[in-house]
Structure 1
Amino acid sequence: MKAMILAAGRGERLRPLTDSTPKPLLHAGGKALIVWHLERLAAAGWREVVINHAYLGEQIEAALGNGDSFGLRIAYSREPPGALETAGGIAAALPLLGEHPFLTVNGDIWCDWDFSRARDVAQLLDERLAHLVLVSNPPHHPGGDFRLAGKNVQLAVGGSSDALTYAGIGVFRPEFFAGIARGTAMKLRPLLDTGIGLGMISGERHAGRWVDVGTPERLAALDRELARAA
């Protein structure tokens, strides 16, 4: 099973920090955000990782190389300027990801979800095409996105009290992205909404630590938290 780290975004909300540094290489707790992911993936038994990039992508490749220093093999999916959005980026990387279910992780989050669980999830997908990790709504996204009905993900409508937020971590079958022509820019949300309507998406709630590192203030807060825990 392979993992993909989504690292192609421009990081507009993190400017000016991202004017000269791609957001996955911003540091918290003494490490680049993407390095936290790579180390945890390696510790959970992963060996093959795909990373997509666009903005300042050469810096990502220079910093991480082929993955040897992490005990991994890293392949890069290079996107055009402006990137392809989440679904488009995953679709473009499918030749590198292969024919089996794969894990995806947003490069600009910090989360202690157990990556080894992805293998169990992949075996239990059955007829479903995707499995999402959901978390409690953060202050900057109080309305949430989805809700859980057992293991089924449903849309959260009208500020539902049990609404949850997508953590940016999911397990997907390649077929979920098969309808996207390679090189097409497309967001993930429309695909998720369609899949939910067809009953093709399962999910779980993660009660541990999760941070959407979307602003300099949240990055600084995470840095202080990780430094205290070191």
Structure 2
Amino acid sequence: MKAMILAAGKGERLRPLTLHTPKPLVQVAGVPLIEYHLRALVAAGFAEVVVNHAWLGQQIEDHLGDGAQFGLSLRYSAEGEPLETGGGIFQALPLLGDEPFLVVNGDICTDYPFAELRRPLAGLAHLVLVDNPAHHPVGDFYLEGEQVGDAQAEQPSLTYSGIAVLSPALFAGCQPGSFKLAPLLRAAMAKGLVSGEHYAGRWVDVGSHERLAEAERLLAPSR
């Protein structure tokens, strides 16, 4: 199974840190955020990783190179303009192949065991969900058994962690350009083709200075 790290965001809420440094290279406990993902992926048995980028993306390529220093093969999907999550993944599909692949947001901090996702995919997507954080109290989806549905008032909701396994077939009929992933997932949910799980371990969306500090507190002891 191949993996993709989404690294095209500008990180505007982390300014001034991201004015001259792409968000994935912002350091957490002395290590660029994206390196935690790469090391975790190698430990989970992944050997081929695709990274998309836009804002200051050349810095990411210069820093990570071909991935040999991490023990894997890295390939890049450069976006002239950010393509949103859906568009970015769609552009990278030729690098990801015809089989289901892992996708992980480059701006999360987590100890999720990626090896758990190296298994056959029954539908079009499998999502890892987490408890709703303070900055996103309404959540995104609900989990009933192993099936994921769109969040509804009468259902306890959970938040999409930014970790998933996706089938290339999820993008059937899509066209190049900028588009979001969520509508594709919701259409697949309506057909019962999205499974999921609830992860209660460490997870932080490093989207602000406050949450960057939270990630620092979590990771500093392990350093």
Q: The TM-score by the shorter chain falls in which range?
A: over 0.9
| Partner amino acid, structure 2, of 1:19 | L
1-structure distance, mates of 2:125, 2:215 = 29
Match for residue 118 of structure 2?
119
Deviations for 1:76-115, whole angstroms, at most 9, x for unmatched residues?
001113x100000000000000000000000000111111
Are residue 104 (structure 1) and residue 103 (structure 2) matched? yes
2-structure distance, mates of 1:192, 1:11 = 24
| Partner amino acid, structure 2, of 1:129 | L
Matches within 5 A, 1:41-190: 41-81=41-81, 83-120=82-119, 123=120, 125-126=121-122, 128-158=123-153, 160=154, 162-182=156-176, 184-190=177-183
- Aligned pairs, number: 223
Per-residue deviation, 1:223: 1.1
Q: Does the 8 Å CA contact 1:27/1:223 hold for their aligned counterparts?
A: no
Match for residue 219 of structure 1?
212
1-structure distance, mates of 2:185, 2:169 = 13
Deviations for 1:111-157, whole angstroms, at most 9, x for unmatched residues?
1111111112xx1x23x100000000000001101111100001111
Q: TM-score, normalised by structure 2?
A: 0.97
Q: TM-score, normalised by structure 1?
A: 0.94
Identity %: 57
1-structure distance, mates of 2:134, 2:157 = 13
Per-residue deviation, 1:161: 5.8
Per-residue deviation, 1:229: 3.6
Q: CA RMSD in A?
A: 1.1
Give the 3 Å change call, closer, same or farther, for CA 161–195 of structure 1 in structure 2: closer
Per-residue deviation, 1:220: 1.8
Match for residue 10 of structure 1?
10
Are residue 201 (structure 1) and residue 194 (structure 2) matched? yes
